[in-house]
Amino acid sequence: MATLVNASSEKPTLSDFQQKEVWEEWIGAETRSLYFAELARYYSGLQSWLTWATLLLASGASASLLAKLQPGYSWVTLVLALLTAGLSLCSVVMQNTKRYSECTDLHFRWNRLALEYKALWGDMYLEDAANELKKLNEKATELSKSSLAMPNKEAVVRKWEDHVLASHGITA
């Protein structure tokens, strides 16, 4: 464990620039964590909707009922079958379950990184704080690379950034 450089002066070992960097990266990691949590909820909800719609449309009872209600409208069964096939295809092609899984993993990893930046914010008096900041920035770079496949919904990111700033007592 690193030791305090000068406990009596309580002077941070991080420069002003590095302190600002820790703060901004902490806020950014929290924001990304919440953003990916929202994306995960979106993909989960979309997959759930597609699954239920497919089940409903695929139900032989619904197709039979609609066809019998309107004599001469047997084409309804065909349309329902095509809709079912289309929704099933969308479900497979969109890969919502995979995206949900990726987003939950990114949420977890960004959240953990935010906690590490928070810990560094409290430990900026430690002798090894600059090296710790370097390690955290390398983790952030790797996470950013992992996040590239996900959509960038700027309005949603701004919403979560405003939320994080407000939770720290800062107005956007």
pLDDT tens, 49-61? 888 888 877 776 5
Record the tokens describing residue 87, joined without a space. Answer: 């929704």
Alpha-carbon distance 31 to 25, whole Å? 10
- The number of folded domains in the chain is 1
Q: Give domain status of residue 141, yes or no.
A: yes
139 Cβ contact partners less than 8 Å away, ≥ 6 residues apart? 113, 116
**Per-residue confidence (pLDDT) for residue 4, from 0 to 100:** 37
Asked if residues 160 and 35 have their Cβ atoms less than 8 Å apart, the reply is yes
For residue 158, being part of any structural domain is answered with yes
Note whether residue 3 is domain-resident.
no
Predicted pLDDT of residue 172: 66
pTM of the predicted model over 0.85? no
What was the pLDDT predicted at 92? 75
pLDDT of residue 35: 97
The answer as to whether 29 is a domain residue is yes
Q: Is residue 172 part of a domain?
A: no
> 37, 41, 59: which is closest to 49 by C-alpha?
41
User: In terms of residue numbers, what domain contains 118?
Assistant: 16-167
Confidence at residue 2, expressed as pLDDT on a 0 to 100 scale: 42
Q: Note whether residue 5 is domain-resident.
A: no
d(CA 46, CA 61): 24
Pick out the chain residues at pLDDT < 50: 1-8
